[in-house]
Amino acid sequence: MKRRDDVRLAPLGLEHAPRMLAWMRDPQVSANIGLKSEPSAERTTAWIERALGDPSIRAFAILLGGEHVGNVVLDQIDERVGAARLSIYVGEPAARGGGVGRTAVALAAEHAFGAMALHKLWLTVHARNAAAIKSYLDVGFTVEGVLRDEFVLEGRRLAALRMGLLAGELAR
């Protein structure tokens, strides 16, 4: 798998809140991640503060050439099972479509399987998000199932794919 060498992850902090809020207000981002409430500065700050204090969440800023362009989150961390849910968005439109997200997913997976010693990552993605699905497959994720009518996009129900990646399956 081809990775970009100008992408890295950094712990998400309060300094990232303004850009995060702007991206949550972008209909293309909010619709694709299934945002259920109106974004606000207070909600964004509260989410980051909660993530910083919650051991079941690891949130990272995606940096492209040192510039914050999106976020990747490992949450619902279950240490007993050794699993976590992965979610990601590239909020900066100019950073989309060039492998930034794919590289960030791979870096997050390396962290999960290395430093966190997890066994499995899982995610859900709506069936119309072809670019994300391709990126996940490129990293090594496998489609584990179809969740019928699980997602609402532009007022229409869509299937969502449940995808998983085991520690030994990460594409190099």
Domain spans, the chain: 7-169
Q: In whole angstroms, give the CA distance from residue 151 to residue 62.
A: 25
> Region 142-150: what's the mean pLDDT?
97
Q: Specify the CATH class of 7-169 in words.
A: alpha beta
pLDDT-derived band of residue 59, with 50, 70 and 90 as boundaries?
very high
Q: In whole angstroms, give the CA distance from residue 121 to residue 102.
A: 15
Using the predicted structure, report yes or no on whether residue 162 has a pLDDT greater than 80: yes
Written as one letter, the residue type at 43 is: R
pLDDT digits 0-9 by tens, 79-93: 999 999 999 999 999
Using the predicted structure, report yes or no on whether residue 31 has a pLDDT greater than 90: no
Using the predicted structure, report yes or no on whether residue 154 has a pLDDT greater than 90: no
Q: Which of 25, 104, 28 is nearest to 70 (CA)?
A: 104
Q: What is the pLDDT of residue 34?
A: 79
Q: Which of 65, 53, 41 is nearest to 12 (CA)?
A: 53
